[in-house]
Structure 1
């Protein structure tokens, strides 16, 4: 059960934490519950970073 004063930060596609502004702001405010939901269709999608890389 989530109590009062806990902030949920939903990680959708960007799983970085070192420069994640909403995560940093939530952590400054108090307890944080990071949430990531596996979406199989995202795992099957082509990686856009690989397509943008120079060849």
Structure 2
């Protein structure tokens, strides 16, 4: 996925399924300038990771 699409998903009112290496994630923040996104992995709010948006897959 590219940074623009990640930002669109983050801003969307709809629930759009996104995965990181097969695990469902929620996009918490997108840094379009650097192509990075902070995602929440699973249901635990403290389980976050900052990754390249290229690693995210829209389901």
Q: TM-score, normalised by structure 2?
A: 0.22
Q: TM-score, normalised by structure 1?
A: 0.23
Relative to its length, the structure with more helix (as a share) is 1
Q: Which has the larger radius of gyration?
A: 1
Relative to its length, the structure with more strand (as a share) is 2
